């Protein structure tokens, strides 16, 4: 009961943050500290309640309980947490256009999507690291999409309210690269730690997930090499980020879908 109520309140607060953000974007003359505070404060309180809800549904004395619902909820939690941390020293709360509504929806998924799987804390550590990588790289993808739109609009001199509300292009690009580097490191740890738990590759139904995870890893690695060695940036950076995360999303969501179909059959 407490978990459900906390999830519902967290969802409402995330939607409130999204509402304040959209007001800020529509009325650029009101942008600034006066609008930034309610956006971040609402999200912070939502994060606290989201934490309570996740803690009650994820952790037990004997281990962790994962399901498709609370896995996606955890992705939303990490996305909001990462955004709030970044926003402490950079005006990047405009990324909440993607993050806040998504988090508001996935926060409620554990209420409707079950099929819990109890696991011990050692495997749980690997799962949490993997989800952390998905979340940070998902935030990077949202950043890449906004950056791509922003750069194209600047070139065409078509500046909408959303574009005016975004940080400068240099800040957007620097934040994007930092998020990709952080997410790439965490993804590498997740892939390496996952190898420890492989006993029978095909019986554990890991082929699909492993293939697309490694494909995503190589795509991120290729982009980082190109960025530091060849100076890849701008639209190329955005394209690589979106493609890499598409592979990563398929590795998680696609695998869950395959397993659900197999259970039905």
30: enclosing H helix or E strand: none
pLDDT confidence of residue 198: 58
42 to each of 110, 194, 212, how far by Cα in Å?
22, 36, 36
pLDDT confidence of residue 162: 67
Low-confidence ranges of the chain (pLDDT < 70): 1, 28-35, 114, 159-163, 165, 197-208, 252-265
Tokens 């912070």 locate to 44
pLDDT confidence of residue 59: 82
pLDDT confidence of residue 264: 38
pLDDT confidence of residue 34: 59
Q: pTM for the whole thing?
A: 0.79
pLDDT confidence of residue 71: 82
Q: Bridge partners of 65?
A: 118
61 with 115: CB under 8 angstroms?
A: no
Ordered by start, the domain boundaries in the chain are: 120-264
pLDDT confidence of residue 245: 93
Of residues 43, 55, 51, the one with CA closest to residue 13: 43
pLDDT confidence of residue 265: 36
């Amino acid at each position: 009961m407490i978990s459900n109520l906390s999830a519902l309140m967290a969802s409402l607060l995330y939607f409130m943050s999204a509402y304040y953000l959209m007001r800020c974007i529509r009325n650029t003359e009101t942008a600034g500290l006066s609008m930034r505070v309610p956006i971040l404060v609402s999200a912070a309180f939502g994060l606290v309640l989201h934490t309570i809800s996740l803690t009650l549904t994820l952790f037990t004395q004997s281990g962790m309980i994962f399901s498709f619902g609370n896995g996606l909820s955890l992705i939303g939690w990490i996305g909001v947490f990462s955004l709030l941390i970044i926003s402490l020293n950079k005006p990047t709360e405009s990324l909440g256009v993607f993050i806040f509504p998504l988090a508001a929806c996935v926060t409620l998924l554990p209420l409707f999507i079950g099929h819990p799987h109890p696991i011990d804390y050692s495997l749980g550590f690997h799962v949490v690291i993997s989800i952390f990588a998905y979340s940070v790289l998902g935030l990077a993808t949202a950043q890449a999409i906004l950056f791509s739109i922003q750069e194209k609009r600047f070139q065409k001199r078509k500046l909408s309210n959303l574009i005016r509300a975004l940080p400068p292009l240099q800040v957007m690009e620097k934040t994007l690269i930092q998020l990709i580097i952080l997410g790439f490191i965490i993804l590498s740890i997740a892939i390496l730690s996952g190898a420890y738990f492989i006993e029978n590759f095909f019986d554990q139904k890991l082929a699909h997930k492993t293939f697309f995870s490694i494909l995503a890893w190589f795509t991120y690695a290729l982009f980082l090499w190109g960025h530091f060695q060849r100076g890849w940036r701008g639209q190329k950076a955005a394209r690589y980020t979106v493609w890499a995360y598409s592979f990563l999303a398929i590795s998680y969501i696609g695998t869950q879908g395959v397993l659900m179909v197999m259970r039905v059959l």
